[in-house]
Amino acid sequence: MTSPQTFRVKSFGCQMNVYDGERMAELLGAQGMRAAGDGEDADLVVLNTCHIREKAAEKAYSDVGRLAREDGSKPLIALAGCVAQAEGEEARTRSKMIDMVVGPQAYHRLPQMVADAAAGRASVDTDMPAISKFDALPARRRSGPSAFLSVQEGCDKFCTYCVVPYTRGAEISRPFADIVREAEQLAAGGAREITLLGQNVNAWESDGRDLAGLIRHLASFAELERIRYTTSHPVNMGEGLIAAHAEVPKLMPYLHLPVQSGSDPVLRAMNRSHTVASYLRTIAQVRAARPDIAISGDFIVGFPGETDAEFERTLDIVDAVRYAAAFSFKYSPRPGTPAATMEDQVPQAVMDQRLARLQARLAEHSTAFNRATVGRTTRILLDRRGRKPGQMIGKSPWLQSVVVETAAPVGSMLDVTITGAGPNSLFGARLPEVRAA
């Protein structure tokens, strides 16, 4: 096969994968390849996969299968991300169509792997090298108004249901100076908002600085209007970070703080290292610092051994916190994790019922949160076009999508009054129009 001219990177799962996908695309672009357009066959396809829930591997293999073309040919295929890390050599045994298997800590080596694959040599690289892949990636150039910046990877928490400590490795923090350099590049390239990413982003530390220190430093950049961070772990929610929510205006009033369950025995079995009371205390401190903060969470229903009464406690914590947004999942046994072999696995039908009840309750709170913003005047960052001509969509400080009629381009900050709330988005009107009415 000749060297590929065009590529497509498809990312699944979390924001870290979105970030890694962007960096892989930039890396391939720096090799002289070009991103394939919509509907165009790419010479190289990178499937940047997610392994967090069941059937992830099966889904990845069926996605690979669908890349076969009608004429019997196929693109060069790289399996990347967490399924690649977990499957390793096995991936090439299960699908002969895969030319490269590259883990999340090894994708800086993609150019060499692609050259080898074009010459007919398949390769597997799931090393977790000590030297940072980031040093081997090209500088950031152009950026949309809202950029992701990975500052921390991996997890040492070992929640008993979770594969992340195995697929992403131990917690590591990128050095302060490297992050600052990348933030400068993103800001110069057009970013107005930066979201700092990490599996345990609030465990980040470098050169005696913690995440609050990093946020305060980035807030001094004139071009940057907004700073966000995700995902945080309750035990790393330190006083300094909470104080930053009170003191740094550019730090947006939004906190994603997964709780998983509202029952202490379940939290203990999950090895979550926080209790219901300690979690609620943290939420109270955060709200004291920033009363309007939007709290979002992750939940798992049907963890092995979870009783009806324990599940009810999860509904209680939902009512206590009044989440503005949430992700909720049925427990999914992951091979190799301690929970997968625990007794009392909960039947699917019970999990289905619990999930439906939980999601209905979460929807009540998110709807109430959105309705409460109607009538407020706030600033939005336009990040894309709306469905109808003349419409744009922007993000509120609380991460809500706001639809507004305006000729202002993507990247503008607009002051709007929220005029209505739908199930998935809000409607806003530009301030001058509101004043004129």
Which residues in this chain contact ligand 5AD in the complex, by CB under 6 A? 52-53, 161-162, 258, 260, 298, 300, 329, 331-332, 334
DSSP for 338-374, written as a single string = GGGG-S-PPPHHHHHHHHHHHHHHHHHHHHHHHHHTT
Least separation in angstroms between residue 236's CB and ligand 5AD is 14
Of 135, 131, 152, 132, the C-alpha closest to 205 is 152
257 binds ligand SF4 (CB under 6 A): no
Identify which of residues 259 and 402 has a Cβ nearer to ligand 5AD in the complex. Answer: 259
Positions 147 through 186 that interact with ligand SF4 (CB under 6 A): 155, 157-159, 162, 164-165
Interacting partner of 332 out of ligand SF4, ligand 5AD, none (Cβ under 5 to 8 A depending on kind)? ligand 5AD
Positions 184 through 243 that interact with ligand SF4 (CB under 6 A): 199-200, 233
Least separation in angstroms between residue 53's CB and ligand 5AD is 5
CA distance 378 to 213: 27
Identify which of residues 107 and 161 has a Cβ nearer to ligand 5AD in the complex. Answer: 161
Interacting partner of 199 out of ligand 5AD, ligand SF4, none (Cβ under 5 to 8 A depending on kind)? ligand SF4
Calculate the alpha carbon distances from 380 to 61, 224, 247, 412, 433 in Å.
Answer: 40, 14, 20, 8, 16
Of 323, 258, 256, 253, the C-alpha closest to 290 is 253
Q: What 3-state class would DSSP assign to 127?
A: coil
351 binds ligand SF4 (CB under 6 A): no
327 binds ligand SF4 (CB under 6 A): no
Interacting partner of 52 out of ligand 5AD, ligand SF4, none (Cβ under 5 to 8 A depending on kind)? ligand 5AD
Helices (H), 272-425: 276-289, 308-321, 348-372
Give the count of residues interacting with ligand SF4 (CB under 6 A): 10
User: Which amino acid is present at 190?
Assistant: G
Least separation in angstroms between residue 337's CB and ligand SF4 is 9
Calculate the alpha carbon distances from 227 to 243, 248, 252 in Å.
Answer: 15, 9, 6
Interacting partner of 214 out of ligand 5AD, ligand SF4, none (Cβ under 5 to 8 A depending on kind)? none
266 binds ligand SF4 (CB under 6 A): no
- The answer to whether 241 and 229 have CB atoms below 8 angstroms apart is no
Least separation in angstroms between residue 284's CB and ligand 5AD is 22
Identify which of residues 148 and 221 has a Cβ nearer to ligand SF4 in the complex. Answer: 148
Identify which of residues 123 and 200 has a Cβ nearer to ligand SF4 in the complex. Answer: 200
Least separation in angstroms between residue 131's CB and ligand SF4 is 23
Identify which of residues 329 and 427 has a Cβ nearer to ligand SF4 in the complex. Answer: 329
CA distance 208 to 302: 40
Dihedral pair phi/psi, residue 325, rounded to 5° = -160, 160
Token pair recorded at residue 140: 């950031």
- The answer to whether 10 and 45 have CB atoms below 8 angstroms apart is yes
Query: Under 8 Å CB-to-CB from 398, ≥6 apart: which residues?
Result: 252, 253, 254, 292, 294, 324, 369, 373
Interaction site with ligand SF4 (CB under 6 A) = 155, 157-159, 162, 164-165, 199-200, 233
